[in-house]
């Protein structure tokens, strides 16, 4: 409909297709990644994630877990904010 009958209808300067693309790619994907990183890094117990990933006695798992806790959430937040900044400024 965005390329045919609704081509003239604009919401905040975007067609329906543009708005759906903006919502999914610029907002929902980074938010989902952020929520998953926070859940696995801070809510889920380390024993459960270690068992699920077969990380018993693995140094790689410890590195992965540290990066997931302390690096991924701020990095994903930067991606989210830069995507919004590029869209509105």
Reported confidence tier of residue 34, pLDDT bands at 50, 70, 90? very high
Sign of CA dihedral 8, 9, 14, 19: negative
Please check whether residue 83 lies inside any domain of the structure.
yes
Please check whether residue 3 lies inside any domain of the structure.
no
pLDDT digit string, tens, across residues 48-87: 999 988 878 788 999 999 999 999 999 999 999 999 998 8
Domain interval for residue 34? 16-88
Please check whether residue 11 lies inside any domain of the structure.
no
Query: Quick check: 2 pLDDT over 70?
Result: no
Please check whether residue 10 lies inside any domain of the structure.
no
Please check whether residue 8 lies inside any domain of the structure.
no
Q: Whole-angstrom Cα distance, residue 20 to residue 23? A: 5
Provide the domain count of the chain: 1
Please check whether residue 4 lies inside any domain of the structure.
no
Q: What is the pTM of this model?
A: 0.83
Please check whether residue 1 lies inside any domain of the structure.
no
């Amino acid at each position: 409909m965005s390329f045919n009958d609704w081509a003239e209808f604009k919401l905040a300067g975007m067609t329906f297709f543009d708005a759906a693309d903006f919502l999914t790619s610029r907002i929902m994907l980074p938010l989902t990644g952020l929520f998953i990183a926070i859940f696995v890094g801070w809510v889920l117990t380390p024993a459960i994630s270690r068992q699920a990933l077969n990380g018993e006695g693995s140094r790689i798992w410890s590195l992965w877990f540290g990066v997931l806790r302390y690096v991924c959430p701020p990095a994903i937040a930067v991606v989210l904010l830069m995507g919004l900044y590029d869209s509105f400024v």
